[in-house]
């Protein structure tokens, strides 16, 4: 099983040893509730690096809904079993107080892309994401960090942040992993009721087949989804919908 670390000081002691030995460190930040999509991120890190570090931290500052934060799945034992299968070496699982010793006085803020798409519907969400990712990258000291393309807007923001602040970690994008029926793998899928799970694959199908974004919105609403947005940009179609209390995002190449 991977070694679980709870403190920044302990990780930095271990990191110093790996760096002194010339080992490359690959880092996969997660909020836990892992699935096969995460497994591909670990596999990519394992392919590229001698040491694979994952973090498991449900970050309170990126939730705009207290219900969503309180009901986010937390299952560290199961997560560690998957990480053991994928040969993850170390798991950083800090407390909120470890990650936010000064509370939320300090934050990373992006003023353009973070206000669009998901950012327009979740005020402050990306401030929380970028702040915790900045913290985790600074703690990890990794050569490479791996992010899935399902969260495409997040990926672009993290890349931009690393460039703006001259962070040395290389950000490595990894393809979306889907269920057999086309639904993008997500930790949130486990919260779907059986009826919602049966409907959920229509999200991707409609994004792929609709003539334009407006048509996709109409088809999704007619199918029973609550639609936050559907937009075509950068040769991709981006969408965010709700089924019950569960919010799903996806993107497809046009």
Domains, the chain, ranges and CATH? 3-174 (3.40.50.620), 187-248 (3.30.1300.10)
Active-site choice (18, 38, 125, 236): 38
Q: What angle do CA 40, 43, 44 make, to 5 degrees?
A: 90
Q: Kindly report the number of other CB atoms within 10 A of residue 209's CB atom.
A: 11
Is 38 assigned a catalytic role?
yes
pTM comes to 0.95
Q: What is the pLDDT of residue 120?
A: 96
Distance CA 247, CA 214 (A): 20
Exposure letters 60-69 (e unless 16+ CB within 10 A, then b): bbbbeeeebe
What's the chain's average pLDDT? 97
Ranges in the chain, pLDDT < 70: none
pLDDT in tens, 176-215: 999 999 999 999 999 999 999 999 999 999 999 999 999 9
Q: What is the pLDDT of residue 67?
A: 86
């Amino acid at each position: 099983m991977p070694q679980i670390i709870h403190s920044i000081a302990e990780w930095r002691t271990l990191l110093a040893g790996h760096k002194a030995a010339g080992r490359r460190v690959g880092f996969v930040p997660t909020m836990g509730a892992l699935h096969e999509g995460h497994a591909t991120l670990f596999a990519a890190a394992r392919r590229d690096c001698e040491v694979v570090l994952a973090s498991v931290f449900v970050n309170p500052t990126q939730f705009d809904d207290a219900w969503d934060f309180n009901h986010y799945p937390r299952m560290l034992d199961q997560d560690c079993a998957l990480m053991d299968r994928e040969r993850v070496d170390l798991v950083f699982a800090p407390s909120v107080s470890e990650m936010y010793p000064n509370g939320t006085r300090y934050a990373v803020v992006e003023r353009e892309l973070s206000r669009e798409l998901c950012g327009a519907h979740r005020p402050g969400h990306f401030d929380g994401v970028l702040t915790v990712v900045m913290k985790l990258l600074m703690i990890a000291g990794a050569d490479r960090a791996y992010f899935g393309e399902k969260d495409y807007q997040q990926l672009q923001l993290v890349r931009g942040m690393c460039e703006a602040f001259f962070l040395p970690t290389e950000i490595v994008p990894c393809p979306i992993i889907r269920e057999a029926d086309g639904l993008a793998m997500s930790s949130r899928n486990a919260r779907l009721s059986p009826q919602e799970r049966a409907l959920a694959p229509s999200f991707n199908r409609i994004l792929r087949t609709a003539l334009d974004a407006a048509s996709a919105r109409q088809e999704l609403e007619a199918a029973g989804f609550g639609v936050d947005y559907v937009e075509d940009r950068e040769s991709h179609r981006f969408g965010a919908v709700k089924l019950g209390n569960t919010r799903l995002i996806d993107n497809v190449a046009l």
